[in-house]
Amino acid sequence: MIRGVRGANTVSSNTEEAIIAAAEELLAKMIKVNDIQPDSVASVFISTTEDLNAAFPAKALRKFDGWTYVPVMCMREIPVPGSLKSCIRVMLHVNTNLSQEEIIHVYLNDAIVLRPDLGNRLEV
């Protein structure tokens, strides 16, 4: 069955280095805590808020061994007034036998405000 694994992280500045570092931190934790193997991933969607445009955060995923052929798409988040700024959001579509309740969603730094009900299970 395909399940969605969600995550988000905030970025310290609109630079390529900061965007890639925040995306890499987030993706590494999502992969680790859910024991995700690249061959089990159908696709990855990564969005950024409109204030982040210095780099494609998908570049971070290419640093991981075995992730070369995983389809990844970057997009812009809807600019809702008052929403969290400088934020990268990720949706991994993973083939897994885990139930919805067993999936560990990862919210880091200021992004924990997005889903405090989901991100509080992270223990890495």
Tokens 């969290």 -> residue: 84
21/98 Cα distance (integer angstroms): 28
Within 10 Å of residue 116's Cβ, how many Cβ atoms? Answer: 9
Residues assigned a catalytic role: 6, 62, 74, 77, 89, 107, 115
Q: How far, rounded to the nearest angstrom, does the alpha carbon of residue 96 sit from its chain's CA centroid?
A: 18
